[in-house]
């Protein structure tokens, strides 16, 4: 009987570290997903506030943006439009976000309800987006964004 209890205790003791190891990567992924969603929220807040300094820190120097009308722009192009006042965002509400992490790269997809205008033309009220981010020197930066109009 004592041997049975000792064997069970050893078995439980052996399983516990293995289970703890399995949980660590999941917690790391959850923390990374939370951090990336936080970046997405700061990004949208910066767009509404026309905060080009924050956008500059979120975008990698090689950032590429493809908008709802298939217009492609680089980081400086996006910052220029924000500085000029041609793009005015009143509100952006993100939803349905999903984060896919691939080591030092991640893809964030989601939907957004937005109110604003570009060159005095109303923006599409609903879009879907795909953002690609990479981690360099311990910091996540957006390298690409693609948006499409949805109904």
pLDDT level of residue 151 (50, 70, 90 thresholds): confident
Cβ-based burial of 88 (10 A; exposed 0-12, middle 13-18, buried ≥19):
middle
Q: What is the pLDDT of residues 75-99, one digit of tens each?
A: 999 999 999 999 999 999 999 999 9
pLDDT level of residue 28 (50, 70, 90 thresholds): low
Sign of the Cα torsion 83, 87, 90, 93 reads negative
- Provide the CATH number for the domain around residue 77: 3.10.450.50
Would you call 62 helix, strand, or coil by DSSP?
A: strand
Choice among 10-19, 40-49, 55-64, 133-142 with the minimum mean pLDDT: 10-19
Q: Which two tokens stand for residue 123?
A: 């923006």
Closest CA to 124 of 92, 95, 98, 96: 92
Q: Which two tokens stand for residue 124?
A: 């599409």
Would you call 33 helix, strand, or coil by DSSP?
A: helix
Q: What is the pLDDT of residues 37-81, one digit of tens each?
A: 999 999 999 999 999 999 999 999 999 999 999 999 999 999 999
Q: Which two tokens stand for residue 5?
A: 């209890």
When divided into structural domains, the chain yields a total of: 1
Q: Which domain holds residue 48?
A: 2-149
């Amino acid at each position: 009987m004592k041997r049975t209890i000792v064997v069970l205790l050893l078995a439980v003791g052996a399983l516990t570290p293995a289970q703890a190891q399995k949980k660590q990567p999941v917690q790391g992924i959850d923390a990374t997903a939370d951090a990336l969603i936080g970046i997405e929220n700061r990004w949208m807040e910066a767009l509404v506030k026309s905060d080009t300094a924050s956008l500059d820190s979120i975008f990698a120097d090689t950032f590429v943006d493809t908008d709802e009308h298939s217009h492609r722009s680089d980081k400086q192009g996006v910052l220029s439009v924000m500085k000029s006042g041609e793009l005015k965002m009143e509100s952006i509400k993100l939803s349905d976000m999903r984060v896919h992490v691939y080591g030092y790269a991640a893809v964030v997809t989601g939907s957004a309800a937005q109110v604003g205008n570009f060159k005095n033309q109303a923006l599409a009220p609903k879009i879907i987006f795909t953002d690609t981010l990479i981690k360099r020197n311990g910091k996540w930066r957006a390298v690409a964004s693609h948006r499409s109009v949805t109904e």
